[in-house]
Amino acid sequence: MKNVLISTGGTGGHVIPALNINDHLSNTFNTYIVTDLRGMKFIDKNKYKFDIIETPKLPSSIIKYPIYFFLLIYSLIKSFIYLKKKKINYVISTGGYMSMPLCIIAKFLSINIYLFEPNKVLGRSNKLILGFSKKIICNYENIINFPSKFVSKIFLVKPILKKEIFLLNKNKKTPNDGLNILVLGGSQGANFFDQFVENLILNLSKKFKITVYQQVNNPNILDKLKKKYLDNNIQSNIFTFDNDILKSMNKCNIAITRCGASTIAELVYFNIPFIGIPFPFAKDNHQFYNAKFYEENDCCWLYKQKDISLNKMLDLFNRIIENPNLYLKKYENLSKFSYEYDWNNVNKKLIDLLDEN
């Protein structure tokens, strides 16, 4: 069996797809996962084995550059030793600066490099590595900032989701049965998100029957928020991390969410119309363009964080309840996308991609 290294790290948006790719390939190849200290918190240590190679982030102060270059050289040496020791045949990078040393050394050792880009905008690290990669695995054909001379490197697949998601029977519930609201604030800019959504839920509960499944970033507010919802007769499941998030998602009929590619792909699979509020400081505004694609296909509502207000959101929910077709149209359009999501098809395409080389 050939040896495949999956390089990842940083945020869940990089790490979760890496784990899903590992699940697709681990029965056909010997797979290895390398991440950084930030990325390891998104990995179930009981399920996955992984190694740590820390990559320094480019400093903002020129005074720190000597330390940066020392740490970068150290990570390059570690990458060289790792790739040689494991006899790696292929490197798959899910993006981010943390994968740069491994990709540089892989190129030096003539190891085939495959990139993964699930966003509608090409990531900066992927753009740097694209020239000496074999292929780039993408969910979209027309990617913003993608160099035209490398278009032939795009390898299209449907979103690479967790295998467990395909084992669940999709629930179909409309808001007229009650609002089952999923809230996914992510880890970036979550304090704003937590506070805004809390006020929105409390106001909605005065008019509608609500059950809320809410991710919060700050564990210190978890118990306080649970009590506040309970005092207002709101059924809730409040969590910072939920191993059964897919089961919770499947119980919901609408979502308020940041717009990372993995999160949107899971919502699309369950045909959940969502209110997208992209993290405004995401690199190259990629979260906005992820959601914009689905807004243009009438699958969601999209608001920039600077433009949202409590009154706007309350008005939107009133319109959703008063005009069921507004919701059902988005549900039907999402179904057209999710109908094509298939574990076996993606599995075969990924294995065939590596077997070709």
Residues 217, 88: one domain? no
CATH code where residue 125 lies: 3.40.50.2000
Within a domain: 345: no
The number of beta carbons lying within 10 Å of the beta carbon of residue 203 is 15
Q: What is the pLDDT of residue 13?
A: 87
- Decide if 355 is inside a domain: no
What integer pLDDT is reported at residue 181 of this predicted model? 95
- So what's the pLDDT on residue 171? 81
Q: Is residue 353 included in any domain, yes or no?
A: no
149/178 same-domain check: no
Q: Which residue, of 88, 123, 157, is where some domain finishes? A: 157
Residue 18 falls within a domain, yes or no?
A: yes
- Tell me how far apart the alpha carbons of residues 66 and 68 are, in angstroms, rounded to a whole number: 5
Strands (E), the chain: 3-7, 30-35, 51-52, 90-93, 112-117, 135-138, 154-156, 179-184, 210-215, 235-239, 254-257, 274-276, 300-302
Please indicate, yes or no, whether residues 304 and 329 belong to a single structural domain of this protein: yes
Point out the domain boundary residue: 137, 157, 177. Answer: 157
pLDDT tens, per residue, the chain with 357 residues: 999 999 999 888 899 999 999 999 999 999 999 999 999 988 999 999 999 999 998 888 888 888 989 999 999 999 999 999 999 999 999 988 999 999 999 999 999 999 999 999 999 999 999 999 999 999 999 999 999 999 999 999 999 999 999 999 888 878 877 899 999 987 655 677 888 999 999 999 999 999 999 988 777 888 889 999 999 999 999 988 777 889 999 999 999 999 999 999 999 999 999 999 999 988 889 999 999 999 999 999 999 999 999 999 999 999 999 999 999 999 999 999 999 999 999 999 999 999 886
Residues 283 and 332 in one domain: yes
Claim to verify: residue 170 and residue 305 sit in the same structural domain = yes
d(CA 116, CA 122): 10
- Lookup result for tokens 């897919």: 246
* Residue 177 CB contacts under 8 Å (≥ 6 apart), including other chains: 253
**Domain limits for position 146:** 3-157
Of 128, 157, 186, which residue is a domain's last? 157
Going 76 to 77 to 82 to 83, the CA torsion angle's sign is positive
Helix, strand or coil, per DSSP, at residue 252? coil
Q: Is 256 helix (H, G, I), strand (E, B) or coil?
A: strand
> 222: exposed, middle or buried (C-beta count within 10 Å: 0-12, 13-18, 19+)?
middle
Same domain, 191 and 322: yes
- CA–CA separation, 199 and 201 (whole Å): 6
Q: Are residues 198 and 80 in the same domain?
A: no
Task: Determine, yes or no, domain membership for 216.
Answer: yes
Residue 272: inside a domain? yes
Q: How far is CA 138 from CA 92, 147, 244, 343, in A?
A: 13, 14, 27, 16
Q: Which two tokens stand for residue 198?
A: 């809390």
Are 204 and 315 members of one domain? yes
- The confidence score (pLDDT) of residue 190 equals 67
Indicate whether 347 belongs to any domain.
no
Residues 173 and 25 in one domain: no
- Tell me: do 153 and 171 sit in the same domain: no
**Residue 265 and residue 318 in one domain:** yes
Are both 146 and 172 inside the same structural domain? Answer: no
Structural domain total, the chain: 2
Task: Indicate whether 54 belongs to any domain.
Answer: yes
